[in-house]
Structure 1
Amino acid sequence: MITIQKKDNLIIVAVIGEFTLADYNEFEQQVLYQSHSDGKTNLLFDWRDMLDYTVDVAWEEVKFMRDHGSEFNRVAVVTDDEWQTWGAWVFNLFIHANVTTFHDYEEAEIWASETE
């Protein structure tokens, strides 16, 4: 399950439980719509409550970042999981945005809300 909200130039995506392909399709549709309405935006992924994700989600994520990564200034990922931190690092291979991982949600939101 995912929740998506927008605060000024920041789109916040929280994943709860398993991140499925249906969730990912909802994410992609909403984020692209919201980001195109205002130009470049920032993303905040809250993965603290994500239990797992399917392989097709991982592949779609790579394709999305390759195709749309230049549309974002900053991407913050909140997680305590080592593999998710590594996955966030992989984002850097496909996008021009500044991607940073955080353990603290408030710190991530402050950083991701800043404009460059």
Structure 2
Amino acid sequence: MITISHEQNYIHVAVLGEFTLKDFREFEENVLYELRFHGRANLLFDLTEMISYTLDMAIEEIRFARAHRRDFDKVAVLSNDQWVAWSAWLNQLLSEARIELFQETDAARAWLAPPSETGQAPA
């Protein structure tokens, strides 16, 4: 199951339990809407409550990342799992997005914030 919310500077996706192809299709619809009306997108993927994922979802994730390799600016991934870290590294090869792994939500949100909101130069 997933929850999706459109925040001011990013799309917040939280995965609860098993991440299925149906869930990923819902994610795709939300991201494609964001891309159509706002251009490039930032994502906050909270995978701290994800227990597992299906193989068909993983294949679709790779296909989607390749098809939209230039559509994302920043992708923050919340997780403590080494496999998620490996997946984030793999996606970095398939995408031009800046992908960072975080263990705390506040740090991920700060990284996604525009430089004018943090008082810092762009990363």
Unaligned runs of 5+ in 2: 116-121
User: Greater Rg, structure 1 or structure 2?
Assistant: 2
Q: Deviations over 1:5-56 (max 9, x none)?
A: 1112301110000001111111111111123211112111000000000011
Query: Is contact 1:10–1:112 with CA below 8 Å preserved after alignment?
Result: yes
* 2:39 pairs with 1:39: yes
Give the letter aligned to residue 57 of structure 1: M
Identity, % of aligned pairs? Answer: 44
Aligned pairs for 1:99-110 (under 5 A) are 99-110=99-110
Query: Is contact 1:15–1:47 with CA below 8 Å preserved after alignment?
Result: yes
Provide TM-score, normalisation by structure 2.
0.89
Query: Is contact 1:42–1:113 with CA below 8 Å preserved after alignment?
Result: no
- How many Å separate the matches in 2 of 1:98 and 1:114? 14
Q: What's 1:72 paired with?
A: 72
* 2:24 pairs with 1:24: yes
Q: Which runs of structure 1 show a deviation greater than 3 angstroms over 4 or more consecutive aligned residues?
A: none
Give the letter aligned to residue 78 of structure 1: L
| Structure 1 residues 35 and 9: alpha-carbon distance in aligned structure 2, compared to 1, 3 A threshold | farther
RMSD between superposed Cα atoms in Å: 1.1
Unaligned runs of 5+ in 1: none
Provide TM-score, normalisation by structure 1.
0.94
